DNA sequence: CAGAATCCGAAGAGATACTG
DNA sequence: CAGTATCTCTTCGGATTCTG
């Protein structure tokens, strides 16, 4: 049991827990963090509150719809807070919550891994594709 | 410039780099790691080499097709190695590569974050859904 | 300016059946 | 036992249009 505590979090805990073990939780988090835009948005908000159009310019490539949609999800999960000012024209500012900021720490570990090893991955892909 | 080096990796580097900045790399890694099964497979392989059917039993919920498909991608990216023994019946063993094992370290940071905060996320979701 | 709503194509993912 | 192929369903994500 003490042999591999590291991977234990991801493993099935037995036939009786089929459907909702510890892996559901991490998958839940990853499906939020791992989608196409969430991480970019939270990353951009690390610099401080930003309004809708600024975010859209900042992220470069995101569509209007996806920015709205992803911000909704992030707000729902408590990673981003939304403040709307009842003016004309309307102004809305988004900000990373405390939770959103703590999330960024472990994510940075992954980011630096990606920076370190994505060359290896690309090389491995090419080598793989050359076979056959 | 030195104000927020943390988020800089994820940010757009300017209008001229539209399409392929540093965020492409992390997104590439995340789309591999963040899919439904890759992480579970790599996690299960932390315990040592396993053959196809063992993996399928170990992961519980994965379909035959998805296990094959995900293993292919992991092998292509150099995270998992495949060894086939030309016997009857055939035997194939999968093993995490060195790269696959280094990946698991930063991922564990995310896993523990998920363990720590997924209650907050669930609570935030309920609170959000109660409004309206 | 911010966002909701709709339509549509592409990719993800399961079920099943077939081969060596 | 391991892997491929096909079929189908759902989800993701972009484009567009419309409102306060």
With CA atoms as reference, the chain A residue closest to B29 would be: A114
State both tokens at B12: 């757009």
A89 CB less than 7 Å from any atom of strand C = yes
Alpha-carbon distance of A122 to B98, in angstroms, equals 16
pLDDT for the residue numbered A33: 83
Alpha-carbon distance of A38 to A104, in angstroms, equals 11
User: pTM for the complete prediction?
Assistant: 0.83
Q: How close, in Å, is residue A68 to chain B by CA atoms? A: 16
Region A13-26: mean pLDDT is 56
> Is residue B52 a contact partner of residue B60, using CB atoms and an 8 Å limit?
no
> Is residue A80 a contact partner of residue A104, using CB atoms and an 8 Å limit?
no
Q: Nearest 5°: phi and psi at B36? A: -65, -30
Residue B121, pLDDT > 90, answer: yes
Residue B19, pLDDT > 60, answer: no
Determine contact: B95 vs chain A, CB below 8 A. Answer: no
Secondary structure of A94-110 as H, E, C letters: EEECHHHHHHHHHHHHH
Chain B residues with CB under 8 Å of A103 CB are 113, 117
Span A90-106, pLDDT tens digits: 999 999 999 999 998 88
E strand intervals along chain A: 50-51, 80-85, 91-96
Q: Nearest 5°: phi and psi at A127? A: -60, -40
> Tokens 């315990």 appear where?
B47
Span B62-99, pLDDT tens digits: 999 999 999 999 999 999 999 999 998 999 999 999 99
Alpha-carbon distance of B55 to B62, in angstroms, equals 9
Closest by Cα among B130, B107, B53 to A26: B107
Alpha-carbon distance of A111 to B23, in angstroms, equals 9
B94 CB less than 7 Å from any atom of strand C = no
Q: Which residues are within 7 Å of strand D by their Cβ atom?
A: A 31, 35-37, 61-66, 89-90; B 51-53, 64-65, 68, 71-72, 82, 84, 89-92
A64 CB less than 7 Å from any atom of strand C = yes
- With CB atoms and an 8 Å threshold, state whether A99 touches B110: no
Q: Separation of CA A66 and C1' D18 in angstroms?
A: 17
Region B7-24: mean pLDDT is 52
Determine contact: A105 vs chain B, CB below 8 A. Answer: yes
């Amino acid at each position: 049991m003490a042999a591999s505590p590291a991977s234990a979090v991801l493993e099935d805990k037995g036939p009786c827990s089929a459907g909702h073990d510890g892996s559901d939780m991490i998958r839940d988090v990853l499906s939020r963090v791992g989608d196409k835009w969430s991480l970019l948005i939270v990353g951009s908000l690390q610099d401080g509150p930003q309004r809708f159009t600024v975010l859209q310019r900042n992220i470069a490539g995101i569509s209007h719809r996806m920015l709205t949609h992803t911000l909704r999800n992030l707000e729902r999960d408590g990673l981003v807070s939304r403040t709307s000012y009842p003016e004309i024209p309307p102004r809305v500012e988004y900000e990373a919550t405390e939770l959103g900021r703590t999330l960024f720490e472990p994510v940075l570990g992954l980011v630096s891994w990606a920076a370190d090893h994505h060359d290896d991955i690309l090389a491995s892909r090419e080598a793989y594709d050359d076979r056959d």
